[in-house]
Amino acid sequence: MQHCCEFKPDDIYYLRDNDLYSSRKLSIGFCPICGKPVTELVEWCFDGSLKREACAGIKANDLMLKYGDEIVYSQKECNYLRFKMKPFGWKYGINKAAKVKDKVVVKQYACDFYGNKELIKTF
Residues 15 and 44 in one domain: yes
To the question of pTM greater than 0.85 for the whole model, the response is no
Residues 18 and 73 in one domain: yes
List the domain range (segments joined by +) for residue 36. 11-82
Residues 71 and 52 in one domain: yes
Q: Is residue 70 part of a domain?
A: yes
In tens, the pLDDT along 26-77 reads 999 999 998 899 999 999 998 889 999 999 999 998 998 999 899 888 888 8
Residues 76 and 48 in one domain: yes
Q: How many domains does the chain have?
A: 2
Q: Is residue 115 part of a domain?
A: yes
CA-based nearest residue to 115, from 89, 79, 97: 89
Q: Is residue 3 part of a domain?
A: no
